[in-house]
Amino acid sequence: MTDRDGIRRLGGVPARSDRLKDVVASAILVLAAVWVLFPFYWAAITSLKQPVDVFRLSFVPWVQFTPTLSNWRSELFYRGSAIFGGLGNSFLIGLGACLVAMTLGTLAGYGLARFRYRGWRNRDISLYFLSQRFLPPAATILPFFYFAQRLDLLDTRIILIAANATFTMPFAVLLMRDAFQGIPIEMEEAARVDGASSLQILLRISLPLTAPTLVAAGIISFAFTWNEFLFAFVLSYSRAVPMSVLIAGTQDVMGVQFWYVSTRLLLAILPPAI
């Protein structure tokens, strides 16, 4: 018997093969983590650089450049009212769009899950909601602008909430429909026998059982609204400007001020992350 046969019988080859797989998997995970986290690291160190250091290749603070808090002082103290106003607008618009989308989406999802419609079938209604995600927002920006102008809603949070809720509601409808379909119909039938109405069944039985999906759909709606730029850029200019527009507003005659972009970017990331 050769040494190789002995290793195979003792399980040495499979063990080495498993170790190799673990090393490869670990290397892939490390590369993926670096790929995901590097933009945040870049933003953090750029916010601590002087303008002259931004355009030089430097990654290690105190070694390749001297960190400074001047950018943070400038944004928080000299432009603090605009920055915190933008954060407040983003929060209120995101919360409002989330509440509207979740309220209407939950009711529509429950209707699609528990009722059968004639003429316009449930499947067609679901496809209609899904098609709203395939519709480019740029195709609707002019109608929204005309609508806001005619109703004197330009530069208000109301029009931004309505625009964002329109494009986030399909997520709520489809996610809640699938969640309600996963609840055994026998539970609702038993409650109906005991005299519960459809609204009572929804509020006391179905909604508590679908709470995880409700929270997930709400987070998705809020995140999409928080990051939205096109509607905010066109429909607001002063009072209702959210943080996404303020981040894009760091360009002047000298070009993009990346040190301020990084500072505002980190400020915009913190609230939803918390």
- Residues 55 and 139 reside in one and the same domain: no
Of 52, 73, 94, the residue at which a domain comes to its end is 73
Measured between its terminal Cα atoms, the distance across the chain in Å is 63
Same domain flag for 222 and 90: yes
Largest CA distance in the chain: 91
pLDDT 10s digits, 66-101: 899 998 998 888 888 889 999 999 999 999 999 999
Domain extent for 167: 79-273
Residues 137 and 215 in one domain: yes
For residues 138 and 48, state if they share a domain: no
Picking from 73, 89, 123, the residue at the C-terminal end of a domain is: 73
Q: Count structural domains, the chain.
A: 2
14 Cβ partners below 8 Å, 6+ apart? Answer: none
Q: From residue 258, how far is each of 53, 60, 255 by CA, in Å? A: 11, 17, 9
Is residue 29 located within the same domain as residue 90?
Answer: no
Q: Do 91 and 204 have their domain in common?
A: yes
Q: Are residues 146 and 198 in the same domain?
A: yes
Predicted confidence (pLDDT) per residue in 17-41, tens digit: 788 888 889 999 999 999 999 999 9
| pTM score over 0.85 | no
Residues 197, 255 within the same domain = yes
146's CB contacts (< 8 A; 6+ apart) are: none
- 221 and 125 in a single domain? The answer is yes
Which of 131, 106, 139 has its CA nearest to residue 210? 106
